[in-house]
Structure 1
Amino acid sequence: MATRTRTRTKTRRLEEEDEESGKLHHEHHQQQQQQQQQQQQQQQQQQQFQQQKQKHKLNTYKSSPSTSSTTIDQEQEEEFDLMVDVAPVKSKDDEYHESFLATIERNQIPISRNLMILLYSLHFLSSNPKIVSYTHKFIHLQNQVGTNPAGKAIYDIDIDDAYFVINWVITVTFLRSALMKYCFEPFAAKFCDIHSRKAKTKFAEQSWSFVYWGVSFIYGVYLYLDAPYFNDLDQIYINWPNFYMQGNFKSYYLISMAFWIQQIFVLHVEKPRKDHYQMFSHHIITCLLIIGSYYYYFFRIGHLILMIMDSVDIFLAGAKMLKYAGFNRACDAMFILFLLSWIGLRHGVYNFIFHHAWSKSVHLMSDGQCVVGEAQKRCWTPTIINVFMGLLGGLQIITCIWMYLILKVAYKVIIGVGAEDVRSDEDDTDVELEENHEADDEKEVQMGKNIELKVESSWALTDKHNVEQQNDFIKDTYNSTATKAAAPVPVPETRER
């Protein structure tokens, strides 16, 4: 009997414990449901508050501040003015990065690569003679007129040379972008200890300029040493326009033309700098001179001017590379070489060639003057000569403007500040600040968040009664929810029978 009694008592206890456990589980489940419902109600109240705020914003814009029904007092007006003053506005950088040109700039490699693959695939894989004859113009020089006494092919100018130039505009775009991304930027990070994104990009840009202008200058000098006008400027104009070109010279001149056309493309797809219009004017004048000199058989003087420009730009690009790499003393030394070459070549030799052309070209080309009613290969008129002289003079004016800016940099070098390029934007002139830009951006973001909080408070002040009710309700709901959430809910352990 005692054993049965103990067994029944134990069974009742277990049943009671199970009932209590079930009740606790049920209460815990109900509390969770209530918390979820309260959170949903809180979210709904916040959404209603945001909607009321937006409606009030529209009403505030529509209402006149001079009417007697205006409910905004002096303090609220000051808050509203603050909101208007600090309203977020897109910066020029943001507008550029969202533009179509920025998309093209970021995709220069795939665009140019795919165009080149398409062209060369059609040329080498197509069995259609018409397609091959058309793609041939993009890849090979046109209008061979014979051979010289040495057995080398000579060429005349031709309208189909434009295809060759277009191909090289695409090729130069690909080479520039690919070398910058896969060669010069990794080199800057590994060997020059440049880790800022902008500084690496600018180092890569100047590296490309250094390489191109170095190769162009060396090859230009090679052609000049074998030219009939070597150390004889009169030969530039004697027997004009009966000039022909060897294949290497024609390629050199057309590739130079493609490079400067591509420079205009780069100038417009990349972020504009302070000297954008100066550079644009320089590139337009340079392209007009190269294209015009090629068409009118003035490519001999064009060859000399290209060598003068390329040689100076080598020192400029080298000085900038040293500046970005942190070699300030070497940068100052390179800048001195650049300054001397600029003065000697772009103002000395250039103006000497300009004066020679102004004073002697008409006399030396007297046989090529236009004659009415006579068919001529090319002929000149005073207007044509004046246009070319005007373009050469305009190029010298831009060079003089840059000379003034260069002298400002030279003054900084003399007083010990160091060489900085004042022609471009501030990112060019202070590489050390590049690594702090990300931290500055984070501060600006945090400042923007603080401004948003102030704006929220300004809108809250415009309708105190409704907003205070909403805030009190949200606060009470949140406190009750937090209190219940903070209270521990006992969960009994499951016991085995």
Structure 2
Amino acid sequence: MANNDVNEKHLKPRSKRRKARSLLRQWKHMSFQHTWMNPLILVLIILGAYVANPGPQNPLHHAIYLSYPLGPDYAGGPNMYGKGKLDLAFVAFYTIVLSFTREFIMQRVIKPWALYCGIKSRAKQARFMEQVYTAMYFAIFGPFGLYVMSQGPLWYFSTTAMFEGYPHRKHEAIFKAYYLLQASYWTQQAIVLLLQLEKPRKDFKELVFHHIVTLALIFLSYRFHFAKIGIAVYITHDVSDFFLATSKTLNYLDSIIVGPFYLFFILVWVYLRHYLNLRILWATLTEFRTVGPYELDWETQQYKCWISQIITFSLLACLQAVNLFWLYLILRIAKNYVFNNVTQDERSDDEGEEGDRGTSQVDKKELHADIEVPTALPVLLVNGQAAEPAAEPAAKPEGIRTRSKRKA
């Protein structure tokens, strides 16, 4: 009898451990199947903890709402907001929110549409979902940024207004919200690259470099009061990214307008990412020094000096260099499309489609094969399973027949 009691005591901890492992396996399985679930749980926990004690006294208030309210500068004017470390909580929370919205919309909204459109390849579905979501995101934030710009003297890409009244230590609520939400988006993309959730392609190093430069520009421009330069750079990239993602989506749908739309996209890209950004780059060499104060004073937070000028110009020049690299790829794709000479994916991103299409359709299918710009989102799991391209069977000598094996 005593032996039985001892055995039961030993068995109980083991059974509990087995049960815990089983629950953990089930949780992992659910997390892989429904990748939007964990971000949603985190968001609900934070919101629930805030609702239990709402108000500025709750530390989570700074994660959900803008911090450092200062009131209007004049009677009847808009409320202004300052800056500080608590803004990091806002960026962190909305990074989680954007993670949830991206995963949920892709899997629950866009994937059914892909199936409805006859896109059967899982790898192609994943890429289609990425591009549709990207187009949706920038269809919102592109006009949002233009609206924010239109509310002040910065309209329309006025380089002088970027430096007048410096230092810009406070902003309107809509300006600050837009800037920090964009910071959340790029933080999310940086996490994706850090975890290597995206299959590396030929321009992976350029993509990583672009993200490093972008995050540096976001942080430094916000911290050292150059956000008006930052918002202009945001808009030029957001709008061009919308047209890129839309052209890719049309390509996946075999649209008859994909060619003309792609050519229109090239014009948009050149105007926004090169003409306007080169104007901004030139302004950092000229107006940066001549418009407004030009000195370093830590007490008054006056940072517009020769040091910040070199840093700002260098980062924007690096961004322009990466964009020129992608422009080269874009123009090469256009050349191949016009001359009907594209036969393979030069970035090894075949998406497992070779067996699904005829050789007469290869050219149009590979219209966007060469390029992956910084808005490219990671190859997300399709209902929790990695959408990897299927390995193509090795070619067999002509005339040799293979014998199929029957199942026992």
TM over 0.5: yes
Name the structure 2 match of 1:186.
112
Quickly say closer, same or farther: Cα 1:434–1:244, change in 2 above 3 A: farther
Any conservation in 2 of the 1:207–1:321 contact (CA below 8 Å)?
yes
Matched, 1:116 2:116: no
Quickly say closer, same or farther: Cα 1:381–1:357, change in 2 above 3 A: closer
Provide the secondary structure at the position in 2 that maps to 1:285.
helix
Any conservation in 2 of the 1:278–1:398 contact (CA below 8 Å)?
yes
Q: Write the distance in 2 (CA, Å) between the matches of 1:438 and 1:183.
A: 21
Quickly say closer, same or farther: Cα 1:309–1:106, change in 2 above 3 A: farther
Name the structure 1 match of 2:349.
426
Count, aligned residues:
335
Provide the secondary structure at the position in 2 that maps to 1:146.
strand
Name the structure 1 match of 2:339.
415
Residue 242 of structure 1: CA displacement?
3.9
Residue 273 of structure 1: CA displacement?
2.5
The one-letter code matched in structure 2 to 1:330 is I
Name the structure 2 match of 1:135.
60
Quickly say closer, same or farther: Cα 1:384–1:155, change in 2 above 3 A: same
Larger radius of gyration, structure 1 or 2?
A: 1
Matched, 1:331 2:254: no
Matched, 1:250 2:176: yes
Matched, 1:200 2:128: no
Q: Give the % identical residues.
A: 25
Matched, 1:221 2:146: yes
Q: Write the distance in 2 (CA, Å) between the matches of 1:105 and 1:435.
A: 30
Any conservation in 2 of the 1:409–1:419 contact (CA below 8 Å)?
no
CA deviations on 1:274-328 (whole Å, 9 max, x unpaired) are: 322111111111111111111111111111111111111111101111111222x
Q: Write the distance in 2 (CA, Å) between the matches of 1:278 and 1:245.
A: 33
Matched, 1:282 2:207: no
Name the structure 1 match of 2:279.
352
Q: Write the distance in 2 (CA, Å) between the matches of 1:213 and 1:157.
A: 26
Q: Write the distance in 2 (CA, Å) between the matches of 1:240 and 1:438.
A: 50
Any conservation in 2 of the 1:137–1:161 contact (CA below 8 Å)?
yes
> What are structure 1's unaligned runs of at least 5 residues?
1-100, 445-497
Residue 375 of structure 1: CA displacement?
2.2
Residue 235 of structure 1: CA displacement?
1.6
Residue 205 of structure 1: CA displacement?
0.3
Q: Write the distance in 2 (CA, Å) between the matches of 1:340 and 1:239.
A: 34
Name the structure 1 match of 2:291.
364
Question: Among 248, 272, 278, which residue is 2:200 paired with?
Answer: 272
Residue 440 of structure 1: CA displacement?
6.3
The one-letter code matched in structure 2 to 1:143 is Y
CA deviations on 1:184-208 (whole Å, 9 max, x unpaired) are: 1111111x21111111111110011
Q: Write the distance in 2 (CA, Å) between the matches of 1:241 and 1:263.
A: 29
Name the structure 2 match of 1:390.
314
Quickly say closer, same or farther: Cα 1:434–1:361, change in 2 above 3 A: farther
Q: Write the distance in 2 (CA, Å) between the matches of 1:342 and 1:196.
A: 30
The one-letter code matched in structure 2 to 1:382 is W
Q: Write the distance in 2 (CA, Å) between the matches of 1:438 and 1:359.
A: 49
Residue 392 of structure 1: CA displacement?
0.3
Q: Write the distance in 2 (CA, Å) between the matches of 1:201 and 1:289.
A: 30
Name the structure 2 match of 1:63.
none
The one-letter code matched in structure 1 to 2:89 is Y
CA deviations on 1:442-467 (whole Å, 9 max, x unpaired) are: 968xxxxxxxxxxxxxxxxxxxxxxx
Any conservation in 2 of the 1:410–1:419 contact (CA below 8 Å)?
no
Matched, 1:300 2:223: no
Name the structure 1 match of 2:186.
260
Q: Write the distance in 2 (CA, Å) between the matches of 1:208 and 1:112.
A: 17
Q: Root-mean-square deviation (CA), in Å?
A: 2.9
Provide the secondary structure at the position in 2 that maps to 1:134.
coil
Quickly say closer, same or farther: Cα 1:178–1:394, change in 2 above 3 A: same
Q: Write the distance in 2 (CA, Å) between the matches of 1:369 and 1:274.
A: 43
Q: Write the distance in 2 (CA, Å) between the matches of 1:425 and 1:103.
A: 31
Q: Write the distance in 2 (CA, Å) between the matches of 1:342 and 1:158.
A: 34
The one-letter code matched in structure 2 to 1:414 is V
Residue 342 of structure 1: CA displacement?
1.4
